[in-house]
Chain A
């Protein structure tokens, strides 16, 4: 009962008026950015990182958690009503959801998505609360070498599983690792890659890099290929969930949760794979196979549940091991570091109240999302009427303001622009941004652990494979790295969500901006 008792304590902290207000603010912001294609929770949390200078940690994390979950809800609205997935994790929702909306069943699709997200989010968050202390107990004994092995598998998994090609993912990861190296070496005090610029000897601030890669890169990319034209919003006024819809939805919700939570907890990079698998599973298991491709409600319920469950799953390695496995998780890790808190096995003991309040506020935020999403769909869709130039100009202002606020140093604005240009080139040539951000934030932590392990062993590399834990983890990392290449040689290219989309005849009128898939994909979970 320990976990539930702690969770109750978390609720007590989260239910103060101020924290409820921050939760509401978070879910509103999260839904808004989820609805808008091209802007995701990772970018939003990165833009809001400077608030960590003024806010209490609890309030800030409650807001960030709201944004994180809100983004998952918002994405489904755009998928269903416009057929332009707001987030990469809602691509699968668009397949069936948009067909349902075209058949006049838009509000049923929205309802099953929202309720499914709520059910999955709640179950998965409770699972998170139950699993976290156990994982911490297991993890408390891990050595620096073990931690390094975990970081390696996170790097490899994120770089190869996300992104359109493992090579691009790894290249992007290396950019992140390199940027993480800039600054003074903690152990020896030597300057690395500081180019003789005094400000660089403190390293490049994570806020600046994250904002540059996500916000500036994206804004420049959108500006470079500003497509004209708009899409039609389908009507979602009629046709609430019928009893039959409910009967057909609840099993996919639960199956989606069962797929999403464990896969989210693995370092497999967020919500895309679970939603893809959930869609495939529902297609196989359905009693109405003839409806798939024409608007089957199972195809909306399953993937939507899966993406919310995986959002909770991603928090398991983050809160118990300090291991970010998606871009948003990496930014959250940076926020923890901003407060001088190091997520890891000790987090639950040293910052117990903060973590439990965070988990409690996830449950509260999830409920808020259900309440604000269903009746307010019309309001969210209105957001899409904002002309892009205004929207991105606003984002750029926020990005510059946030970067300048870090140190009040004009050099940060120059760095913002330079890395922003890099981010633009990465977007342009289809390098996923998520591995770079994860490399940037996790890289220094991995390095510290590696150096610590080597210091203990007097420079003997054998220490890295000393325990069974690190041997297994490193072997898995090797498999994750080599496996896809071997599979590709044996079986030909893997089938990607894009191909499934093509099979499902999903059209995208505004593909370049609206659908961050394949080459354009970023992990926005």
Chain B
């Protein structure tokens, strides 16, 4: 089994930037890529879930990259951070790539920070990628 890089993906510029860096890392390390697009699934509408045309395009993009990949979309009522930690221990990943966004102190206090939880919970190096400026 080859080494694995896990990327937490959401369909937005940040997620795309994270995916781009994850692909580069895979090529550099000769690793396979595990794309995680998790949702807690407790709201009727979750725009962070990739589906339909966007899903096809993501699969095409991953296929074109030439990196062996696997796409996981668990919806089990658990936090994204928990799902990511699970996938990391499951695949014995050597690197996790996540996207970061700018958060206000109050926003972070109220909603918590998934990135912070990932940093604390995951047992491997984490590469945090910032999205393009002015793009959320």
Is there contact, CB below 8 Å, between A226 and B77? yes
Is A445 located at the chain interface by the 8 A CB criterion? no
How far is it, in angstroms, between the C-alpha of A228 and the C-alpha of B40 when the chains are bound? 7
Is B39 an interface position by the 8 A CB rule? yes
B44 an interface residue at 8 Å Cβ cutoff? yes
Q: How far is the CA of A385 from the CA of B46 in the complex (A)?
A: 6
Residue A76 is within 8 A (CB to CB) of chain B in the complex: no
In the complex, what residues of A have CB within 8 A of residue B45's CB?
82, 230-231, 233, 381, 384-385
Q: Find A510's partner among B39, B44, B52 (CB 8 Å cutoff).
A: B44
Contact A384 B77, beta carbon cutoff 8 Å: no
Q: Does A84 contact B (CB under 8 A)?
A: yes
Residues in chain B near residue A242, CB distance under 8 A: none
Tell me, yes or no, whether A274 is within 8 Å of chain B by CB. Answer: no
Report the Cα distance A231→B45, complex, angstroms.
6
Chain A residues whose CB sits within 8 angstroms of the CB of B43 once the complex forms: 230, 384-388
Asked if B44 and A226 make an inter-chain contact with CB atoms under 8 angstroms apart, the answer reads no
Q: How far is the CA of A97 from the CA of B51 in the complex (A)?
A: 21
A37, A228, A384, A385: which contacts B41 (Cβ < 8 A)? Answer: A228
A492 within 8 A of B: no
Complex: A105 Cα to B80 Cα, angstroms: 34
Within 8 A of B (CB), among A381-421: 381, 384-389
The interface residues of chain B lying within 8 Å CB-to-CB of A227 are 41
Give the docked Cα–Cα distance between A101 and B75 (Å).
Answer: 26
- Does A232 make an interface contact (CB < 8 A)? yes
Let me know if B47 and A226 touch, CB within 8 A: no
| Pairwise interchain contact B47-A228, C-beta atoms closer than 8 A | no
Alpha-carbon distance A381/B52, docked complex (angstroms)? 18
**Provided the pairs A228-B77, A232-B52 are in contact, do residues A388 and B42 lie with their beta carbons within 8 angstroms?**
yes
Instruction: Determine if B122 is an interface residue (Cβ-Cβ < 8 Å).
Output: no
Q: How far is the CA of A510 from the CA of B45 in the complex (A)?
A: 11
CA A347 to CA B119, docked complex, whole Å:
66
B108 located at the interface, meaning its Cβ lies under 8 Å from any Cβ of chain A in the complex:
no
A387 pairs with B51, CB closer than 8 A: no
Neighbouring A residues of B47 by C-beta, 8 Å? 233, 385
| C-alpha spacing A427/B59, complex, angstroms | 42
Query: In the complex, what distance in Å separates the CA atom of A5 from the CA atom of B47?
Result: 51
Contacts of B46 in A (CB 8 A): 230, 385
- Cβ proximity bits B47-59 to A, threshold 8 Å, 1 near / 0 not: 1010110000000
Cross-chain contact of A231 among B42, B44, B76 (Cβ < 8 A): B44
In this complex, what residue of A is CB-closest to B52?
A232
A210-248 vs B, Cβ < 8 Å mask (1 yes, 0 no): 000000000000000011111111000000000000000
A474 close to chain B: CB less than 8 A: no
**Cα of A192 to Cα of B45 in the assembled complex, Å:** 48
B52 touches A230 (CB 8 A): no
Report the separation of the CA atoms of residues A116 and B51 in the bound assembly, to the nearest whole angstrom. 32
| A386–B111 alpha-carbon span in the complex (Å) | 13
Distance A226 CA – B75 CA, assembled complex (angstroms): 12
Shortest distance in angstroms between B102's beta carbon and chain A's nearest beta carbon?
21
* B49 / chain A contacts, CB cutoff of 8 Å: 230
Cβ distance B11 to chain A, nearest Cβ, rounded Å: 12
**Most A C-beta atoms less than 10 A away, residue of B43, B45, B51:** B45
Contact with A along B72-99 (1 / 0, CB 8 A): 0001110000000000000000000000
Question: Min CB distance, A467 to chain B, in Å?
Answer: 52
Q: How far is the CB of A442 from chain B (nearest CB, A)?
A: 34
Interface centre among B44, B51, B52, B75 (most CB of A within 10 A): B44
Q: Is the CB of A84 within 8 A of B44?
A: yes
A362 CB–B CB distance under 8 Å: no
Q: Could you jot down 21 A-B contacts, CB within 8 Å?
A: A226-B42, A226-B77, A227-B41, A228-B40, A229-B39, A229-B41, A230-B39, A230-B41, A230-B46, A230-B75, A232-B51, A232-B52, A233-B47, A384-B44, A385-B45, A385-B47, A387-B40, A388-B42, A388-B43, A389-B42, A514-B44
Please report B residues at the A interface, Cβ cutoff 8 Å. 39-47, 49, 51-52, 75-77
| 16 additional A-B residue pairs with CB within 8 Å, beyond A385-B47, A387-B40 | A226-B77, A228-B40, A228-B41, A228-B76, A228-B77, A229-B75, A231-B44, A232-B51, A233-B47, A381-B45, A384-B43, A384-B45, A386-B43, A387-B42, A387-B43, A510-B44
